[in-house]
Amino acid sequence: MALIDRVTAPLVLRDPQGREKVIAAAFTHPQGLLCLDLFWHLSSPREAAHLLRGELCGEGPWRIGDYRLRVLGCHNTDPHLAEQFAAWSQYLQQHADAYPPRAQILEIAARLGATPR
């Protein structure tokens, strides 16, 4: 089984149409993979939590159906995603007290059906 739950580096989700976005977290789920958008905690789970159904394959990069997940490249490898990640990083630095601690994030993921490790 892939150990995606333990990845602490920023992740990129590529959808079947080839669009990529940085995501805040990903957790294994009995039906596939639960992904949380950046700034997920500022909206509802319906808007910011996404269940990708299927079997998760790989050890990084990962595949699930027609979706791909990988670690965000560094040193300008992913310039088209740099702005997303910079905004997220800046938010976390400036609002560290507003972002849930890891234990609470795991609890929320579990309530959404994920099986985080």
pLDDT of residue 60: 82
Q: What is d(CA 110, CA 117) in angstroms, rounded to the nearest whole number?
A: 10
pLDDT at 5: 66
pLDDT confidence bin for 115, thresholds 50/70/90 = confident
CB atoms within 10 A of CB 23: 21
Comparing 76 with 1, the larger pLDDT belongs to: 76
Higher pLDDT, 97 or 59: 97
Could you give the CA distance from residue 82 to residue 12 in angstroms, rounded to a whole number? Answer: 11
How large is the average pLDDT for residues 31-54?
93
Q: Are 28 and 5 in contact (CB under 8 A)?
A: yes
Per-residue pLDDT, 1: 41
The span from the CA of 112 to the CA of 77, in Å, is 33
Mean pLDDT of the chain: 90
Measure the CA–CA gap between 98 and 114, rounded to whole angstroms. Answer: 23
